[in-house]
Structure 1
Amino acid sequence: MSVHIFMDLSRLIARAGVPVPTGIDRVEYEYARHLLEHEAHRTHFVAFHPVGRIGEIPFEEARDFVGRTGRAWDGARELCSGLRWQGRRLIWQALKAADRGQGVSSPAMYLNVSHHHLTRPRSIGNFLVRYNALFIAMVHDLIPMEFPEYGRPGEAEKHLVRMRTVARLGAGAIVPSHAVGRSLAPYLRHSPAREHVAVVPHGVHLGETVPEKGAFQKDLMQKGRPYFVCLGTIEPRKNHLLLLHIWRSMAEEMGAQVPHLVVVGKRGWENENVVDMLERCPALRGCVHECQGLTDPEVAALLQDCAALVFPSFSEGFGLPLAEALVLGVPVICSDIPVFHEFAGSDVTYIDPTDGPAWMRAIRDASRGKAPATASGGSDFRAPDLFQWPEQVGKGIQAADSIIEKYRRNGLIPA
């Protein structure tokens, strides 16, 4: 029997009109796009209203919203204002529909791939009862709990509530890496979901994007010096501060010959020291560049021509910048953390994120055209095969269907 899918679009709607997506934004978008293209016959879209209700939204309007969101991210910024109004309308429609929900023939799943409103377990529980659905959650990471020092105050407590919601209400979970699965396991110890955790790595959008050099990159390349890219939100766990201190030392020693560092990403939280250096450090002027609002084609072009991606993060649940660089064939210097070994094998340079001298040596070597050293041992993986979004979302939906089927075979839900 075909499983009805209630796909939650709350995060995309809450961020409607934002021109540059985060990694989790992209995940929700790609799952929605896949369902629209391949599973429309059994897909329903829902959204959370702040009063605490989850309701269906009109299918065709959801289709239009998802399509317009993708075009806005690809550079059609004139759509952003209209998307914000459309998002407000969808939330209102969800609230109106919440009281009219009649459910569907069993079985059904409620799919939430964004962590959005997992702090509202009563709202989710009411929806599951009303629609006779099983809850499949995607857990991206447990970093706020494992490394609270890198997050906003109070975020660890909120994330604990999210994980308790998954444990109490979830039938299963999808995680992007084995590392996240290991971190999640203790919280599912007494949950039925503990036997139904599927590892499905994310896909990469830049691999299917046609690169397009922007004005910034054209000007940068005319300067005739190599450049490195650091891609991701500016926040403490991304360890931008290490790179800025390295670049200050190199700038003081090398002068006009210092390579460039391009920091691509919006400013996040708890990042005062990084911002102070970006804005006020004289040695970094002219060699460290902060870029926000680049389109995906511009980011792809910037990565393709760089000396290396530098990714000194202290912790990641997956690491989309690493995957993007691997797909594009870009050299990578990254932190020596377990999750990166899952996907990059021996194809990148691993360095302890606290070992500043080793990072400086690797960056200097790469700036001189020397290929970054890779880990010992061979690797037979092929990044372009691993990280294609359509295939990865298909695996995620297949895993969710399999979880529902196991419950049905065990007589835990009606056939």
Structure 2
Amino acid sequence: MRLFFDARYIRTDFHDGISRYTAQLGNAVHALAADEVTFLIHDRRQLEHLPEGANWLLFHSNESALEPIAALKLNKYRPDVVFSPLQTIGTTGRKYKAIVTLHDLIYYRHRRPPSNLNLALRLGWRAYHLTYWPQRAALNGADAVATVSEVSKREILGHRLTKRPVHVIPNAPNDLCALLPADTSPASGTGRNLVYMGSFMPYKNVETLIRGMELLPGRTLHLLSRISPERLEELERVVEQTPLADGAEIVFHGGVSDEEYAALLADDALLVTASLDEGYGLPIAEALALGVPAVVSDLEIFHEVAGDGAAYFAATSPDEFAQQVESLSTPEARQAKSAAGLEHISRFTWAASAQRLLELARELAG
């Protein structure tokens, strides 16, 4: 089988969710079937995130005006199957089997496009998500559709977005343990540090986390991600209006490295989020795999990702958030939650996801 894996979504500055999914799944697929896979790239710097010695093909950018005729260009290389981690690759006129990916439906509910896209693509992205028919056309242009969770699969089927079979090829946590000293024990402690990793878009509802600090003495809320000056000013006003408990602190980090992220999670921490909506929740999976419990809003997708490894609260209730943090303040409660999280998240690995993709590709290739 000749499998072409579309790796053009790998970012060369810093990973976003699609970029990390592409790189991690691509590496896992190569580990299982190196002789069968060829990576599509548009920038040689993307090779830094792919296995050494991997087969690759320099192709036009996924943001190029040529993307609608991508299949016509790929035909001459005679792939058996092309897998794309998004659904926007052109499939018209293809002479191979195609698998495209729709990660979630969150952009139909929150239509703000990814900030790394150029203006024309941002406008097109917003228009694309005003109605379902462009999505149906894109998905039905393939032979199979992949998604990252059972929740997303149910939503895709519920909205009748495709006539093609939908397969779950899950996200999986990254190995943050490899970034820590061997003797680190993240499961110990009482949850002195509360760690939030994610964007600051309004639906992420960081305000609830901030207001909950009124009831959490002696704890520090670490807001790790990059943030725009405008949004920082908005949230700093919320901080000013919130009478913090004794010894409580709120720290805006403005972006951290993976090593700094892992170190903060390992330092007597809980992973926290009050999101009102979510497509997956990769930081939760990463924390659980490190042995760090989570305190998260009560969303269906978070139950799929975290299982019994998290404590859940009503997303708009700072009181409930604080109560669930306090429920994990003893070493015994924390260690029990940590063990449950490790057991649950162990079913999600990049190797297992890669095996699912290869089985689907081989089935399509016949």
How would you bin the TM-score normalised by the shorter chain?
A: 0.7 to 0.9
Q: How many angstroms apart in 1 are the aligned matches of 2:304 and 2:311?
A: 14
Counterpart for residue 295 of structure 1: 257
* Aligned partners of 1:177 and 1:318 also within 8 Å: yes
**What amino acid maps onto 1:342 in structure 2?**
E
Larger Rg: 1
Give the Cα separation in 1 of the matches to 2:146 and 2:74.
26
- Which one is further off, 164-173 or 21-30? 164-173
Q: CA deviation at 1:101?
A: 5.0
Cα pair 1:140 1:180 within 8 Å, conserved: yes
Q: Which residue of 1 aligns with 2:136?
A: 164
Q: Secondary structure at the match of 2:333?
A: coil
Contact 1:362 1:372 in 2 (8 A): no
Q: What does residue 181 of structure 1 align with?
A: 153
Aligned to 1:42: 36
Using the size of structure 2 for normalisation, the TM-score is 0.76
Is the Cα contact below 8 Å between 1:229 and 1:262 reproduced in 2? Answer: yes
Work out the CA distance in 2 between the residues paired with 1:212 and 1:384: 22
Tell whether the 8 Å contact from 2:171 to 2:350 is kept in structure 1 after alignment. Answer: yes
CA contact (8 A) 2:6 2:82 kept: yes
Q: Which moved more, 1:34-43 or 1:234-243?
A: 34-43
Contact 2:173-2:286 within 8 A present in 1 as well: yes
1:144 pairs with 82, 107, 124, which one?
Answer: 107
Where does residue 118 of structure 2 map in the other structure? none
For the 8 Å contact 1:226–1:259, the answer to whether it is kept is yes
TM-score between the two structures when normalised by the length of structure 1: 0.68
- Alpha-carbon distance, 1:29 to partner: 0.7
Q: Tell me how far 1:234 sits from its aligned partner.
A: 1.8
Q: Spell out the pairing of 1:317-332 with structure 2 (5 A cutoff).
A: 317-332=279-294
Matched letter for residue 200 of structure 2: I
**5+ residue gaps, structure 1:** 48-56, 72-88, 214-223, 409-415
8 Å Cα contact 1:241/1:274 also seen in 2: no
Cα shift at 1:296: 1.9
Return the offset for 1:292: 3.8
The RMSD of aligned alpha carbons is 4.1
Q: Which residues of 2 match residues 284-363 of structure 1 at below 5 A?
A: 287-363=249-325
Asked if 1:133 corresponds to 2:96, the answer is yes
SS at 2:103's partner residue? coil
CA contact (8 A) 2:172 2:350 kept: yes
Q: Secondary structure at the match of 1:103?
A: helix
2:347 to 374, 378, 386: 386
Post-superposition Cα deviations, 1:295-335, rounded to whole Å, max 9, x if no partner, equal 22321221122331112111222211111111111121111
Counterpart in the other structure of 1:29: 23
Contact 1:235-1:270 at 8 Å conserved across structures:
no
State whether structure 2 residue 227 is matched by structure 1 residue 267.
yes
Aligned to 2:3, the other structure's residue is in SS state strand
* Pair 314,132 (structure 1): closer, same or farther in 2 beyond 3 Å: same
Q: Is the 8 A contact 2:199 2:226 kept in 1?
A: yes
| Paired letter, 1:158 | Y
8 Å Cα contact 2:78/2:96 also seen in 1: no
Task: Call closer, same or farther: CA 1:286–1:331 in 2, change over 3 Å.
Answer: closer
Larger % of helix: which?
Answer: 1
Shift of 1:394: 2.4
Query: Contact between 1:307 and 1:366, CA under 8 Å: does it hold in 2?
Result: no
Which position in structure 1 is the counterpart of 2:202?
236
5+ unaligned residues in a row in structure 2: which ranges? 52-57, 116-121, 183-189
Secondary structure of 1:170's counterpart equals coil
Q: Deviations over 1:127-156 (max 9, x none)?
A: xx2x51222112111011134589999655
- CA distance in 2: counterparts of 1:289 and 1:271, whole angstroms: 15
1:346 is paired with a residue whose SS is helix
Per the alignment, residue 119 of structure 2 pairs with none
Q: Is the 8 A contact 1:167 1:187 kept in 2?
A: no
> 1:168: how far off?
3.0
User: In 1, distance between residues paired with 2:101 and 2:228?
Assistant: 23
Amino acid corresponding to residue 37 of structure 2 in structure 1: T
Answer whether contact 2:194 2:272 (CA < 8 A) is retained: yes
CA distance in 2, matches of 1:273, 1:125: 44
Deviation at 1:244, TM superposition (A): 1.3
Identify the residue that residue 48 of structure 2 maps to in structure 1: 68
Equivalence for 2:54: none
Letter in 2 for 1:262: H
- Report the count of equivalent residues: 336
**1:243 Cα deviation (Å)?**
0.8
User: Aligned to 1:326, what secondary structure does the other structure show?
Assistant: helix
Q: Report if aligned partners of 1:244, 1:277 keep a CA contact under 8 Å in 2.
A: no
